[in-house]
Amino acid sequence: MCDVAVVKKIANCLGVAPGKVQLNDEQVVTRTIGQNKTVQGFATILESLARESKSEAAQNSTSTKEVKAQVYQWLEFAVLYVAPGSKDKYVSKQLLADFNKLFISKSYLVGNFITLADLAVYYAIYDLMKSLSPVDKENYLNLSRWFDHLQQRPEVHQGEPLLNFTTIYLHGWATGTHI
Amino acid sequence: MATGTLYTYPENFRAYKALIAAQYSGAKVKVADNFKFGETNKSAEFLKKFPSGKVPAFETADGKYLSESNAIAYYVANEQLRGGKCPFVQAQVQQWVSFADNEIVPASCAWVFPLLGILPQQKNSTAKQDALVVLELLNKKLLDVTYLAGERISLADIVVFSSLLHLYEYVLEPSVRSAFGNLNRWFVTILNQPQVQAVVKDFKICEKALVFDPKKYAEFQAKTGGKQQQQPKQKEEKKPKEKKEAKKDEPAEELDAADEALALEPKSKDPFDAMPKGTFNFDDFKRVYSNEAEEKSIPYFFEKFDPENYSIWFGEYKYNDELQKVFMSCNLITGMFQRLDKMRKQAFASVCLFGEDNNSTISGVWVWRGQDLAFTLSPDWQVDYEVYDWKKLDPKSEETKKLVTQYFSWAGADKNGRKFNQGKIFK
Ligand SMILES: N[C@@H](CCC(=O)N[C@@H](CS)C(=O)NCC(=O)O)C(=O)O
């Protein structure tokens, strides 16, 4: 999913009009609302969306200074590293392993609630998750749990068919590779 | 929106269910002021509203009454907490609420209550293993899901979380809980929700598990007057079949369950039977002591006492610094006497409390058959003896005569000069 598509998805998710979202000459994503109000850069755009939104995820993302700072870091990471990296065979493996490890002890990326960070990483990693075979998913059960949790929210899946994680119930007899 | 008053004592995990639910829904739930557990909930006025006399209990602003913590939590919750619009998720919420009551709470109580001193420690107890099985089940479930029912926090999470609080607070030290990574993740997630933090304040996850402390149990007995010790007798009269069917899903019933276990144990023979029977007759002495003045009964004691087969002991309570109210200390002594019931035939004691509220000591003179500490003879008797220092007295010495005379006649002062306040006779 390209940056432009992700911004539109997230705007939808937050219940905010995306305005005109496009890439400028330097391939940087921009958002224009009204006549000449343009914001530039993925993380900055998402923050502007969050400010306009009353949704749970948007409010959580700005609950404290620390949360705000951590969310910002994940937004940068999602656009600069996750999205491009998930197209590379080796980097993507590492990404999956790292996220899986992170979700052993956490339910969400920042704090203990859904934030923009989850949404940005979710859409950045979506195509990669979609490409995984059931057996692959067996290796990333913690990541799968987080992903499945998000995709079940109607505002997140936005009508797309849900990825199938039911095979994770096989881990009962598949040997313990999940941690 | 639900509005009303919640009756509970502080930090009641059952009350937390409703209080957390109210944080989510915005229901106005006020905790009753001046609630005194055991008093308020046993008053005629309370029993008229809530016949079970149990807490938590909820009185709505328009004068309707609800008991049972799960029902109260349901009432003050909102649609999301009840499982949303989908009947299947609603049913899942019910599933976990039942699971909490039927699996978690009994296992947790059986493990934690003896350590808190509110239930006796049972030998060969499988409480810990039973609890670990339940935790493993939750741990498996929470590998695949973020919340227990649906994709939002619901009463399933709130009720299961509340029911796990004692375990996470008192016994799940790091080395034990490390086996339950998914459960830990979920627990920390729920604990840190602002709505939960508003209710469960300053909660600290266990660093070091509690260990059984006989002193705590003795103190609890003191506060409750050893009430539950009297129950086995009534229980024994019931048919064994009924006993097995008894449920054990709450503290009060837990106590019964512990008693049942005791009652079901084969009656041990009198442990004193193994000892030679001397010439000193306890029944005769007790009769004289009860009916005659000390000027008569104390000389009678020394005249008849058989030092070959009987011994005299001085027992001093180890934790005098912690004694507070006189009536509580007296309950401590009575509770001990009740637990030692089977010793009565072959023992006699006068235990005295010296001093006043917040400055008192307990000590006593004991006489029993045999030359060793009698308490090791039966597991029933070992609850209290560890909280006393025991000294065997030389029956011939003058000092012993003085001590016996003082204690049998309920007079004098302790070694620091605190005046005699009250005495209790074990006979
Ligand atoms: N199933 C009830 C249990 C309530 C209960 O056992 N309450 C205890 C205190 S935690 C109580 O009030 N006991 C007083 C009594 O049994 O007389 C619930 O969940 O509300």
Q: Does A110 touch chain B (CB under 8 A)?
A: no
Closest alpha carbon within chain A to B140: A172
DSSP structure class, residue A93: H
Q: For residue B263, is pLDDT > 90? A: no
Categorize the per-residue pLDDT at B395 as very low, low, confident or very high, splitting at 50, 70 and 90. very high
Closest CA to B374 of B311, B307, B319, B286: B311
Q: What is the 3-state secondary structure (H, E, C) of B206-234?
A: CCCCCCCCHHHHHHHHHHHCCHHHHHHHH
The chain-wide mean pLDDT, for chain B, equals: 86
Contact between residue B190 and residue B153 where contact means Cβ atoms under 8 Å apart: yes
- What's the pLDDT band for B372 if we cut at 50, 70, 90? confident
Please state, as a whole number, how many other Cβ atoms lie within 10 Å of the Cβ of residue B94: 16
Closest CA in chain B for residue A63: B194
B143 contacts in A (CB within 8 Å)? 141-142, 145, 168, 171, 178
Residue A164: C-alpha distances to residues A46, A63, B371 (Å): 28, 33, 76
Is any ligand 1 atom within 6 A of the Cβ of residue B14? yes
For the sheet containing B65-67, what is the strand order? B28-31, B3-7, B57-60, B65-67
**What is the chain A residue with the closest CA to B141?**
A169
Which among B143, B181, B186 has the least Cβ separation from residue A107? B186
Amino acid at site B123: K
How far, in Å, CA of A94 to CA of B295, rounded? 92
Q: In this structure, which amino acid lies at residue B53?
A: G
- Pull the structure tokens for residue B228: 């539950």
Q: Quick one: which H or E segment has residue B58? A: strand B57-60
CB contact under 8 A, A141 and B143: yes
Global ipTM:
0.86
Exposure class string for B344-380: b at 16+ Cβ within 10 A, else e: eebbbbbbbbbbeeeebbbbbbbbbbbeebbbebbeb
Distance from CA of B145 to the nearest CA of A (A): 6
User: Is ligand 1 within 6 A of the CB of residue B69?
Assistant: yes
**Predicted confidence (pLDDT) at residue B126 exceeds the cutoff of 60:** yes
Q: Mean pLDDT, to the nearest integer, of B56-73? A: 97
Contact between B226 and B339 (Cβ < 8 Å): yes
Q: Is residue A138 within a helix (H) or strand (E), and if so which, with residue range?
A: helix A134-138
Distance from CA of A51 to the nearest CA of B (A): 21
Tell the CATH topology of A54-173. Glutathione S-transferase Yfyf (Class Pi); Chain A, domain 2 (1.20.1050)
pLDDT above 60 for B254: no
CA distance A14 to A119: 10
Question: What is the set of domains in chain B, with CATH numbers?
Answer: 3-76 (3.40.30.10), 84-267 (1.20.1050.10), 272-426 (3.30.70.1010)
Give B183→chain A minimum CA distance, Å.
9
Q: Is A169 exposed, middle or buried (0-12, 13-18, 19+ CB in 10 A)?
A: exposed
Most confident listed range (B75-89, B234-248, B265-279)? B75-89
Quick: pLDDT tens for B283-305. 899 999 988 888 999 999 999 99
Q: Shortest CA distance to A157 belongs to which of A2, A5, A4, A13?
A: A13
Which chain A residues contact residue B144 at CB under 8 A? 141, 144-145, 148, 165, 168-169
Sort out which chain B residues have CB atoms less than 8 A from A162's CB and list them: none
Q: Identify which of B6, B54, B166 to mutate to test ligand 1's pocket (most ligand atoms within 8 A of the CB).
A: B54
B53 lines ligand 1 (CB under 6 A): yes
Q: Which of B251, B252, B257, B260 is nearest to B233 (CA)?
A: B260
Residue B406, pLDDT above cutoff 60: yes
- Indicate the range of A98-107, A158-167, B417-426 predicted with least confidence: A158-167
Q: How far is A144 from chain B (nearest CA, A)?
A: 8
**C-alpha to C-alpha distance for A123 and A6, rounded to whole angstroms:** 6
Is A113's CB within 8 Å of B193's CB? yes
Give the model's pLDDT for residue B330: 74
**CA-proximal residue: ligand 1, atom 14 (nearest):** B54
Phi (first) and psi of residue B388, to 5 degrees: -120, 150
Check: CB of residue B90 under 8 Å from CB of residue B82.
yes
A105 contacts in chain B (CB < 8 Å): 181, 184-185, 188
DSSP per residue over B176-191, as a string? HHTT-HHHHHHHHHHH
Map out the domains of chain A as residue ranges.
54-173
Any atom of ligand 1 within 6 Å of the Cβ of B306: no
Q: B151 and A149: CB-CB below 8 Å?
A: yes
Pairing of strands B3-7, B28-31: parallel
If we measure between CA atoms, which residue out of B317, B282, B292 comes closest to residue B427? B282
pLDDT given at position B374 = 84
Q: How far apart are alpha carbons A102 and A108 in whole angstroms?
A: 9
Q: What is the longest distance spanned by two Cα atoms in chain A?
A: 59
In this complex, which of A141, A145, A179 lies closest to B146 when CB atoms are compared?
A: A145
pLDDT band at B168 (very low <50, low <70, confident <90, very high): very high
pLDDT of residue B26: 97
Q: A171: which chain B residues are within 8 Å (Cβ-Cβ)?
A: 143
Residue in A closest to B142 by C-alpha: A145
B146, B196, B197: best mutation site toward chain A, by most A Cβ within 10 Å? B146
Phi first, then psi: what are they for B59, rounded to 5°?
-115, 120
Q: How confident is the model at residue B138 (pLDDT cuts 50, 70, 90)?
A: very high
What is the Å distance from ligand 1's center to B14 Cα?
8
Q: Is B107 helix (H, G, I), strand (E, B) or coil?
A: helix
Q: How far apart are CA B405 and CA B409, in angstroms?
A: 6
Torsion sign across C-alpha atoms A83, A87, A93, A94: negative
Question: Which among B293, B367, B355 is positioned nearest to B326, based on CA atoms?
Answer: B355
Average pLDDT over residues B326-352: 82
Instruction: Write the pLDDT tens digit of every residue in B226-248.
Output: 554 433 333 333 333 333 333 33
Which of B78, B73, B92 is closest to B1 using CA atoms?
B78
At A29-77, the pLDDT tens digits run 999 988 778 999 999 999 999 999 999 999 999 999 999 999 999 999 9
Residue B358 has pLDDT above 90, yes or no: no
From chain A, the residues in CB contact with B181 under 8 A are: 104-105, 179
